[in-house]
Chains A and B, each alone.
Chain A
Amino acid sequence: MSLVPFLAISLGAAAGALIARRYRRLSLTVGLLGLVAATIAALAIVPGDRLGVGPGRLEATEFGRLFLALGCSTGLIVCLIGLATAWQRNLPAALLGGFGAIGLALAIGDSITALMAILAGALVGSLVTLVRPTTAANVQVASREFRAIVVAGAIAIVGMAWIARPLGPLAEEPTVFGVAYMAVALAVAIRFGAIPFHRWAARLSESAPEIALPLLLAWAPAAFAVVALAWTDRSIAPLLLPLEVERSVVLTVGVLSIVLGAIAAMLQDDLEHIVGYSIVQDAGYVILGLAILDPVAWQPTRTWILVFVVVKTAFAAWAVAVRTRFGTGTLPDLGGWARRSPGLAIGLLLIVVATLGVPGLVAWDVRSRLVDLSITAGPLRLLVIVGGLASLGYYGRIALAGLRPPSVLVLAGATERPRRIYRAVARVRAGAGAGTDARAGADATAGAGATARAGALGTSSVQVTTSIDAVGVDTSTGRPTGGLGSPRAIVLLESLGAAAWRMNRAPIATVGVLILAVMALMVGAGGLGGPAAAAAPAPEPVAPSEIFVPGQTEPPSPSPVESRAPDDSGAPSFEPIPTDSPISSEAPSLDLSPSIAPPTETPAPSIAPAPTQAPSPSPS
């Protein structure tokens, strides 16, 4: 079973990194190596592999493989960016633990079991909200996220359990399914921090390390949404019940998130708030996908989830790189950032293209499709389209700030060009000193932050020079006395490597952001097999505990029920209506037999939640 190595590596490395937390280097090494190994193990997962666990089983899927590979690889790059900028020492362990739990959940067919795995992983992941020095306010913010995770999980568990049994006469009441559906959908909204459940997410954006925001606000809630979508697609959507009121509530939450999330992001000056609200806004499309209640929404929603998580990871990493480099995350103080940092400007451009897309790109098409399927016409549709495009507003505001004349803080920021270590050493030896080494003199008006950064860079050069002097270098050959294999040489190399890392943190962060942005663009363009993976079915539950069979009063049999060809008697049927879309054929099918149709004379529900014909994409 190819999933087992991934689970063993991710969960084992997470435990190792946490246990070795007191030994910082060891913990870091275990975490980073674990992420590398987990990425490789995720790529080695073979879709369709099954592993029996008691009466249950784990089943690897193409979507799970891609989700985990993207998660671990982007997590590794985020960790490297974090090392170069603002480090959070729990981050590798939280990423590994979170993705291990997600890997387990995406391989489980039973939705409640999968949900519990995701909740456990999300709780471990929430530890990255704690930053040093720990204050009561930090813990309070962490507790808000903690509360949101658990409350959302409890609501979803009860909602899923309610219809995971034969309902007897209650099955004729669509309200029963509607309430269960609404509970699960609103749990997803709470988990994403969608408006109006956004308070905890807003506070989290303020307090949590920016580098951890993708895990907290995007990856873990996205996995929750994947499980909820699988449950909806299996248990609710095929019934084609008239759940207009419930759909309207869920739809309203999605529309509010898309529109108000964009407005809130536009109004904010701090980058972390902009990142937080942009995540809330794009999560609104996932809520729209849950509101469609048709198997045809399966593929676009899951495709958008893949695009969403990678794009938001790149955006958060970009914000971290900007904040650390210029010492501020406030837009009015970031005037001219793009002029001083073309690499980050290109990164932002790629992120915008990957998020919004252009007609023909998958990101654009799936957003358009989700809007088309959820809202057929009317002013609400126009509102959603405008709200979706309104993200150009906050991206444009950031870009405009970058085109202004450089501010004092931006001028004082570290350079994006790589710095060579021997030049810094030569400068120190020539007596340039720590202050002049990093242009502290030129930026004397830049304030304490710039001075501190300049001092730090200058100190690196001085430290290296001191190390070289202490080790002893033959000036004629430039090699350490005693040869390259001597212990002195190893000490020197270590010093040089550390100093080179310290002096080049800005270019390292920029390169990391560019890699993430390119990955986001690839996923947004439909690369890496995203749409195909999203169309693949979810793992089937072993015992049909979640499959509702109308009219059945006895517990469902564990053995599959043989299907019969539908007759033409006109009897009501709960069988899903076939659609013309190729997606629907790949969506998970409902295990319903026409022979056990409800014993009523009422005709089959004719109010479909959404059109089954795929409308033409339109701008959103």
Chain B
Amino acid sequence: MTWFLAALPLAQTLLLGGDRFASTPTTALLQFLAVVLLVLSAVRIVQLDPANDPAAFLATRPLTFPTVLLPKLAIISFGLILPIAALHVAQIACLGIPLNATDYLLLALETLLSLCAITFLALLPAFFRRNLGDYLVALVICGVAIAGVSVFVRWDTPTMPVLGWESYQLGMSRQALVLFLCPVVALGVIFVYACSRSWRRAGALFVVASIVIVLVRALWPIDFIRHFADRDQRTPASECPDLAQVSARFEKPRWAGDMIPSFGGIGYNGVLYYNVEAHIKYLGVPTPWYPVQRSFTSTLTLSNGKALPCRGTMPPSIDWLQLILQRKIRNMYDTDPHSCTPLQLDQYKVDEVNGATKNAAVRGNAVVELRRAIVIHELSLQEGATFAQEGRRFTVKKVSYTQERLQVEIWREEVSLLFRGGTLGRYDSVDFVLVNELRHEFVDTNGGSMGGGFAAANYSYKLEQRDYEPAGRKIPVRFTDDWIRGARLLLIGSESGGTLNVPFEFQSFDLVQ
């Protein structure tokens, strides 16, 4: 039954074919039920002739405790967990989204560890309880204990907003860590109990290991995933811009008087923050490169002498405008590609300022990355056009237009791995630009993307609805059949060409709410 449930998502994928989104809430429900059945089956196997039950058949036979226990663990591991993991990997493989061999290995490992973590943690009470009723009571107690610990250590909740983008990476990294450690600890506890037949020793190991996990998790290095699974595309050194030629100039008019810093507006976990913002003009940045702020460290000094340090990181962003201009396509928008870039320092707590809003100063250093947009692929603007590459697939689902407005629906399917820090592929994010090179015209999205989606078990899909409505632009585009036929949907990513440090210091300004 467990295998059957686990095989249904694969069957569903095969029936739907690889060119359609294959994960639905039904698939997720089937996968969830398969895991529930897996756990119940495993509990049944462990409780079948429980080795610590005096009424058990094998307890009074010439067998060691591990000899009785290990076959059960082997049956659970190789008879339940391994086939279910294999079915899941097969389902992902049948989606038709290309993954490289390493990703398949990581996917298999992650799936196995996830199932092991769930199963062996859920199984622990079964080793000490002889019937299903006792087990369920023990499971509820364990669940309450885990929930209590989770609340206590704020499991997977980024409690440090100053970390910004890093907090996401830290969360991923911690999940990967917990995923690895939990089955190890659970198996260790089972092993100790198997060898010593002492639940006190096993319990002591569980407590000590739990404390170690909490400590390791708390002290886990932020950069783990970034170093372990950094997939940001690097430009070959020969193509990188000369960073020595790049300089930054702060736009004085923006910093004159008391108008610069503003209140961040949106709080985090009920805490409000000041959003300090400056504008920088970068000089010497060659086409098609553009600067993007990735991190900063700064100290806000208040008039009362109080110094508030903070730091933050941001994800890379895509600015494809220079790429389009490089392709000799007219700039149809009222946009200056060399305009100022905002420098954002947005993590100062309002209550820390405590009314000392006048005559503040800020000093620090920003790490700015030069990036360039890359055309990953060009899709014809036809329904059904599709492109798949390294963990992603894009499919044009629907194209509808009038002369003034074009609407495109795109399915974005992605395979994600915790061990790779999220979605796969060489580019952190992918954007869309619509061009008609014959007409030297392009349109960007108006109003961003919207639409439904779903994510479960390493796979996600999202319907992105892009509205292109260029009316009112510098050179309005008219969508006609000819325009559509000559149009291409560019899938654009970005890559890094190196980073430079931009020190900054601003004196005498007022924080304004």
Are chains A and B native binding partners rather than an unrelated pairing? no
